[in-house]
Chain A
Amino acid sequence: MNGKTQELRDPLLELRGIAKHYDMGETVVRALDGVDLKIWEGEFTAILGPSGSGKSTLMHLLGFLDQASGGEMYFDGENVSGIGPNQRAMIRADKIGFVFQTFNLLPRLSVLENVLLPTSYSRTPQLRVRDRARTALDRVGMADRAGHRPSQLSGGQRQRVAIARALMNEPRLILADEPTGNLDSTTARSILDLFKELNAQGGTVLIVTHDEKVARHTRRQIHVLDGRICKETTAQEDAVP
């Protein structure tokens, strides 16, 4: 899929002049200041930037966890700039799959129950949830650990379960925030390979990271600095190590 064919369709996500300002009394912190960005279906993208660059704020907006203070945002061609917290929650439940640096599995629940968690919050009817959860676990290679507790798993295994949870409701966008930040390099690599695999199967994956080496695995890198997108690079297939 190249840039030209993508232009013919609506992007999955489009930001136009998005700003996020925090009023700190005397001063106004401009975490994001006029960001234009398009994410197409089937892309494998990294948002890259040092801490304080605004990449986390950008991720929160892209993941519908937060509301922009200015600009317009479109999801699937629909203007979602002014939607309320419950509508954002509905989009998070059905359209976004989150993967976190610290995995964020609920320790009390079994692996299977953790994967099932998103179905409790979806407002659309949920069928055959257990089968689907097992399929999701199968996709990340964790089907045999369904009954385990997160505490019985290694870091890499936990992240795989978290990815299965993100896949549970067949999201339009998988949003991973430093997914390899807490893993050793070998494990990190296998997780990144898993994302690559999911992308190859048609999934749209967006990784937020400060690590160039992680970003190099993706096909498109968006560099964020001081609340703006400063540079965009597209990796060649053969450039991926």
Chain B
Amino acid sequence: MNLVGAVANGFGEIWTHKLRSLLTLVCVLLGVASLVLVQGFIDGLFDGWRSSIEENGGIQRIRIMTDTPPESQKARSGISPGLSIEDAKAIQQSALLLDGVTPMADQNDALFQRGRKSFRCRDLVGGWPEIFQIRRLELGQGRAFGDLDEQTAAQVVVLGAGVAKALFEEGEDPVGKTVDLRGVPFTVIGVLRPYEKWYGTFNLLREKNETALVPLSSLMRRISGSTVPQGIEVQAASVEDVTRTAAALESLLVRLHRGIEDVRVISQDMQVATFREQKRAFMIGGMAIAAVSLLVSGIGIMNLMLAAIHERVREIGVRKALGAWSRDIFVQFVVESCTLSVCGGLVGIGLGFGLISLLQGNETIRPIFSVNAALVGFGFSVTVGVLAGLYPAVKASRLDPIEALRYD
């Protein structure tokens, strides 16, 4: 019997025992669907995480933030000058191998106005010109601000693509136009390119589009009135240097702050290590789920096949009398169990993807469609079919035709 015939025969058997086949199919289906779903969750989670790290400066970005000094230093913490622009200058002048340094200050929900249009910008950032490089911001139109703008506290702004879209008409060139930022007129000198990274229906990089950047001095003098930066951002010379650079920055800052440990150096390599560790844990968890589902569906299929063979002893006898080799009977039953499990697998993949697309509306858990997950699910169902079919098929193929024909 050829393979096409065997598969057709398998479908025939499934159709003849609809309920029984359905129940078994559901075993495989649930196993595969859960596998696809779990894989989708893991992929979605880590894909989002990775791209947000990448897009916000990658592993090379090191942030320095003000921190509460340890309890033992509380009493004399006043001797520390605190985080300041001077720190950033000191870092710049140190012998550390860096690709860029900038002090940073930001304001949330800064109101932009232009004529009748207004927009609350999610994050208004002030920094040195290096901030574009450190945060990996690319211009779509116009230019970034430079050292001269910083020195003169120029009233210039670079808008995120989303901000520009909200303030300007379609097709209107924002560069050179003036917008009011908290009542202060600023000239738009550039617009960032639009950023998109879709996680289902959610753009992971939406924040980047709703950012606006101004020179740090402009932000401090024209808008906030503060002279203290909220943090310092540094770009390490290379990924390999991150750990060393972070340690060096920490000791430099402690020295500058007279021994008071009131800053925190945050590098993403720790995060990346954690990220890898967690991904491994998730994968092991996912595999455990897959293994259990494999076992459950395998047992279901084997049970069905054994029952089927018990009922079809006579059929096996007839087939053998008509000239079937043991091998033909073996192939017939393995193909039958595979047909069943692959059907279950395909429906399971469909169900998994259906559930994933249903969950796209959810903001907190967002699995993604993963081709890998579908392939794993398919491979999984074929494996189950073959493994679960082996023993019953061997049993069927070994039946003696005379005994089988006599069987009632």
Contact among B13, B314, B322 for A121, CB-based, below 8 A: B322
In the assembled complex, A72 has its CB within 8 A of some CB on chain B: no
Q: Which stretch, B142-150, B284-292, B324-332, touches the partner chain A?
A: B324-332
Partner of A92, one of B1, B13, B315, B322: B322
Contact residues in B for A90 (Cβ distance below 8 Å): 323
B321 interfacial by beta-carbon distance below 8 Å = yes
Per-residue interface assignment for chain A, residues 186 to 201, with 1 indicating a CB less than 8 Å from any chain B CB and 0 otherwise:
0000000000000000
- Do A108 and B401 contact each other (CB < 8 Å), given the known contacts A89-B325, A94-B323, A121-B328? no
Interface string of B267-311 (1 = CB under 8 A from A): 000000000000000000000000000000000000000000000
A165 to B319: give the CA distance in the assembly, Å: 12
Assuming A104-B314, A120-B1, A120-B5, is B12 touching A89 (CB within 8 A)?
Answer: no
CA distance A66 to B1 in the complex (A): 23
Q: Residue B318 contacts which of A63, A85, A106 (CB distance < 8 angstroms)?
A: A106
Q: B402: which of A66, A94, A165 is its contact (CB, 8 Å)?
A: A66
Q: Interface residues of A toward B: which range?
A: 20 to 34
Collect the chain B residues with CB atoms within 8 Å of residue A104's CB.
314, 317-318, 321, 405
| Cβ–Cβ contact B322 & A86, under 8 A | no
Residue numbers in A under 8 Å from B324 (CB-CB): 89, 93, 120-121
Within 357-401 of B, Cβ neighbours of A (below 8 Å) are at: 401
Of the residues B16, B315, B322, contact of A93 by C-beta under 8 Å: B322
Q: Which of A143-166 contact B (CB under 8 A)?
A: 165
**Distance of A223 Cα from B244 Cα, bound (Å):** 102
Interface of B is mostly: helix
A60 at the interface (CB under 8 A from B): yes
A113 to chain B, nearest CB (A): 9
- Find out whether the CB atom of B12 lies under 8 angstroms from the CB atom of A117: no
Whether B322 contacts A117 by the Cβ 8 Å rule is yes
B321-A92 in contact (CB<8A): yes
Q: Is the CB of B323 within 8 A of A122?
A: yes
State A104–B321 Cα separation when bound (angstroms): 11
- 8 Å CB contacts to A: which residues of B308-359? 314-315, 317-326, 328
Q: In the complex the two chains form, is A108's CB within 8 Å of B12's CB? A: yes
| Distance in Å: Cβ of B6 to nearest Cβ of chain A | 9
Q: Bound state CA distance, A117 and B2, in angstroms?
A: 12
Q: Which residue of B lies closest to A118 (CB)?
A: B322
- Minimal beta-carbon separation of B313 from chain A (angstroms): 12
Per the bound structure, the CA–CA distance linking A65 and B405 in Å amounts to 11
The answer to whether A60 and B322 touch (CB under 8 A), given A108-B16, A120-B1, is no
Residues of A within 8 A of B16 (CB): 108
CA distance A104 to B315 in the complex (A): 8
**A121 and B405 contact, CB distance less than 8 A:** no
Find out whether the CB atom of A89 lies under 8 angstroms from the CB atom of B402: no
Per-residue CB contact flags for chain A residues 9-33 toward chain B (1 = under 8 Å, else 0) read 0000000000000000000000000
User: Contacts A106-B315, A106-B318, A108-B13 hold; do A100 and B323 have CB atoms under 8 A apart?
Assistant: no
Q: List 25 A-B contacts (CB under 8 A).
A: A60-B402, A65-B321, A66-B402, A86-B325, A89-B320, A92-B321, A93-B324, A94-B323, A98-B321, A104-B405, A106-B315, A106-B318, A108-B13, A109-B12, A117-B319, A118-B322, A120-B1, A120-B2, A120-B328, A121-B322, A121-B323, A121-B324, A121-B328, A122-B323, A165-B322
Residues of B within 8 A of A (CB): 1-2, 5, 12-13, 16, 314-315, 317-326, 328, 401-402, 405
Question: Apart from A86-B325, A106-B318, A108-B13, what are 5 other A-B pairs with CB-CB below 8 Å?
Answer: A65-B401, A89-B320, A94-B323, A104-B317, A117-B319
List 3 tightest A-B contacts by C-beta distance, closest first.
Answer: A93-B323, A121-B323, A120-B1
